[in-house]
Amino acid sequence: MANVFAFAESRGGALRRVAFETVSAARALADASGGGEVHALLAGAPGIASLAPDLGKYGADVVIVVEHPGLANANAESLAATAADRIRAGAYRAAIVSASAQGRDLAPRVAAKLSVSMAADVISFELAGDALVVRHPAYAGKVIATLRLTGSPAIMTLRPGARAAVEAPREARVESAQPAADPAASKVVVKEMIAGGGAKLDIGDAPVIVSGGRGLKSAENFRLVEDLAAAFGNAAVGATRAVTDDGWRPHSDQIGQTGRQVSPDLYVACGISGAIQHIAGMRNSRTIVAINKDKEAPIFKVADYGIVGDVIEILPALTAAVKEARAKG
Amino acid sequence: MKIAVCIKRVPDMETRFKIAASGSAVDETGLKYDMSDFDGYAVETALQLNEKQGPGETVVISLGPDVVQEQLRKALSMGAERAVQLKADRVPADGLAIARALAQELKSGGYDLIFFGRQAVDSANATVGPMVAEMLGLPCATGVSTLEIANGRGTARRDLEGAAEIVEFALPAVVTIDEGMPRARYPSLKGIMAAKKKPLEVKPAQLGEEKLILEKMELPPERAAGRIVGEGPAAVPELVRLLHTEAKVL
C-alpha cells in the first residue's frame, strides 16, 4: 500500500485534460500497490480551489490547493519548490506529472531538488518489487524502451493521451497550503500569455487532425485543409516540417519527430509524402487517411485508407461529403 | 558572451532500426551518426549570438565514449572555439546522472548562457537541461522557439500546447532550444581545417549512481497494411463510407 502524488496541471484557471490523466494514472498505481491514497497538487490564482472536486472524480483522495496571485501563470520555480516540499513530507512511493510542455519543465526540477532519478514520457508503468518498470517511446517512436526506475519517490512524466482518464469518483479532502517559494521571487517571469486562437482545438486534444504538406503548393491552399477541419467540427489543423519551415504555418503546428507527437482517432494527411520526420509524429493515430498524387509515397504504407490524386481537387469534394455525412448523423 | 552548448551524438533517425542481440540496445551496424537536431540548432544559436554581439566564446560539451569527439569536432568546424568530452564508456539512461556530471563541469565555467537541445532525438527525455539548471541554481527556459539577449537579460517564447508564453530572465541562464530556432550551418572547408587545431579536452564524467536502467528495447508493432480506396475526387464517397461504417470515425 502506497500513496501516490499527482500534479494537476491547469492553465488560465481551468484544469487541463492531462490533469485528469495524471490523477487517474496515480489512482491506478495506488490501487496496484494495494490501495494507497492519491494526493493531487492544484496550484493557481485565488479561486482555483473550486476545481478540487473535479479531481476527486478521477480518484484524488486529497487535493492540496495552493492559491496565490503569482501563480496565475505557470511558475515552474515556485511550483517545483512546493511539489518537492510536499513530496518529501508525504513520503510518496511515486509522483506523476504530465509530459506536457509545462510538465516537462517542472518534473526534472523536482527530481533534481529531491536528488532522485526520473522516467520521462511514459506510456505504461507497473510496480515490480522495489522498482517501477516503465515503457517509453524512443528513436522517433521507432523503438519502445523498457526502463527500470529504482529509488523512492519514483518520479515520472506521463505522455499526454497515452492513458485515458478513468472516473473513480470520491469526495476529495481539500488541504490548503502556501507556496514553498515566493512566486514573485522566481528568476523566470512570464511576461505575456498568448492564447492559441481562441476556441480552436489544440492538436494534442483534437479527436481529428487534418494535416497538410508541400502537396498543397501554397499557404493560401491551407484554407482547403481548414475547411475540411471545420467540416469535421472536432478537428485541429497540423502541418509537416517542410510547411512550417516555409512559414506557411506556425512552428507550433508541426507534427513530427522535432514537432508534436499526436495520436488522434482520425488523421487525414493531405499532400504529405510521409518522411520519417513526419511519420514519427503521427504513426500512433487510430485511423490514418492519406491523399497524395504519388501512389508510391511512403505515407500510403502507414495509411489505412488512401486516395491517389491531386489534393487540391480532392479536398473540396471530401469537405462536402463530410458535411453531408455529419448532417445525416 | 561565454556560451556552453551541451550536445549528444545520436544515430540518424531515418534508419530502419534493428534491435541488437542483447535486447537492450539498437543494432549499431551501419548506423550513421550526427549531433541531435535540436543540439545543432543550439550550437548555431550560440554562434550567431556571439557573431552578432561581439567577442565571445562558444564551448561545446558532450558526454560519452571517444566517438563523441566526432560530433565535438563538427561543432568546432561550425565555429565553436573549444570542446570538452566528459568521458564515459556509454551514455547512461539516467538523466540525473548525466546532469550531475555536466553540472560538475559547468559550475565553475563562468558561462553567461548554457544551451541544450529541447531533447535528444534518440532517448527523447528532455530532462537533463532543467536538472542542470536546478543543480546550478540558474534560471531556466525550456523549449524556446525565439530568443533575444540584450543587456544581460533574455526574452524567449515557449510554445505550449495550443498557447505560448513569453518569458524573461536574467543571465546567467540555462535555455533549451526547440524548433523555430536556426538550423545548424554546414561546416565550411576552412572551418573543418581550423577545427583540427582547436582544443578538445577530455575529462572523466562523474556520473555517480544510476537508478534508471535501460532493460529492454523492442520495435513497436507494425501498422496493418492499408489500401488505396481509389483515384481522384471520384473515390471520395467510398472513403467517407469506409470512415463511417468500418473505421467508425465519422
Judged by CB atoms closer than 8 Å, whether chains meet at A309 and B235 is answered as: yes
The answer to whether A60 touches A130, Cβ cutoff 8 Å, is no
- Chain B positions touching A242 (Cβ under 8 A) are none
Q: What per-residue confidence (pLDDT) applies to B230?
A: 97
Q: Is the pLDDT of residue B131 over 80?
A: yes
Residues B25-43 pLDDT 10s: 999 999 999 999 999 999 9
Across A32-142, where does the E strand assignment appear?
Answer: 38-44, 62-67, 94-98, 118-122, 124-128, 131-138
Judged by CB atoms closer than 8 Å, whether chains meet at B140 and A109 is answered as: yes
Residues A271-302 pLDDT 10s: 999 999 999 999 999 999 999 999 999 999 99
- DSSP three-state, residue B108: coil
The answer to whether B77 touches B60, Cβ cutoff 8 Å, is no
Residues A171-213 pLDDT 10s: 999 999 999 999 999 999 999 999 765 447 889 889 999 999 9
**Mean pLDDT in residue range B42-71:** 97
Q: What per-residue confidence (pLDDT) applies to A328?
A: 82
**Mean pLDDT in residue range A92-107:** 97
Is B27 part of the contact surface with chain A (CB cutoff 8 Å)? Answer: no
The answer to whether A34 touches A1, Cβ cutoff 8 Å, is yes
**Mean pLDDT in residue range A38-59:** 98
Judged by CB atoms closer than 8 Å, whether chains meet at B163 and A194 is answered as: yes
pLDDT interval class at A13 (50, 70, 90)? very high
Q: Is the pLDDT of residue B123 over 80?
A: yes
Judged by CB atoms closer than 8 Å, whether chains meet at A138 and B133 is answered as: no
Number of Cβ within 10 Å of residue A290's Cβ equals 27
d(CA A104, CA A74): 12
A141 closest CA partner among B128, B13, B28, B212: B13
| CA A272 centroid distance within chain | 24
Choosing among B212, B238, B245, which should be mutated to test the A contact, i.e. which has the most A CBs within 10 A?
B212
Interface contacts A/B by beta carbons within 8 Å: 288
Is B191 part of the contact surface with chain A (CB cutoff 8 Å)? Answer: no
Name the residue of chain B whose CA is nearest to A192's CA: B166
- DSSP three-state, residue B69: helix
Tell me which amino acid residue B84 is. Answer: V
Count Cα neighbours of A147 within 13 Å in the Cβ-side half-sphere: 32
pLDDT over 70 for what percent of chain A?
98
**Mean pLDDT in residue range B203-229:** 94
Is B25 part of the contact surface with chain A (CB cutoff 8 Å)? Answer: no
- List the single residue in A113, A149, A188 with the smallest CB-CB distance to B167: A188
**Mean pLDDT in residue range A128-148:** 95
Q: What per-residue confidence (pLDDT) applies to A283?
A: 92
Q: What is the DSSP letter of A51?
A: G
- Chain B positions touching A76 (Cβ under 8 A) are 130, 140
d(CA B211, CA B41): 30
d(CA A152, CA A130): 9
Cell of B239: 472513403
Q: Average per-residue pLDDT in chain A?
A: 95
Question: What is the distance between the terminal CA atoms of chain A, rounded to a whole angstrom?
Answer: 48
Judged by CB atoms closer than 8 Å, whether chains meet at B233 and A317 is answered as: yes
pLDDT interval class at A68 (50, 70, 90)? very high
pTM over 0.90: yes
Q: What per-residue confidence (pLDDT) applies to A197?
A: 53
Stated as kind and residue range, the H or E segment containing A182 is none
**Mean pLDDT in residue range B86-100:** 98
**Mean pLDDT in residue range A85-101:** 96
pLDDT interval class at B189 (50, 70, 90)? very high
The strand pairing partners of B80, in sequence order, are: none
**Mean pLDDT in residue range B216-244:** 94
The answer to whether B69 touches B33, Cβ cutoff 8 Å, is no
Is B219 part of the contact surface with chain A (CB cutoff 8 Å)? Answer: yes
- Chain B positions touching A280 (Cβ under 8 A) are 13
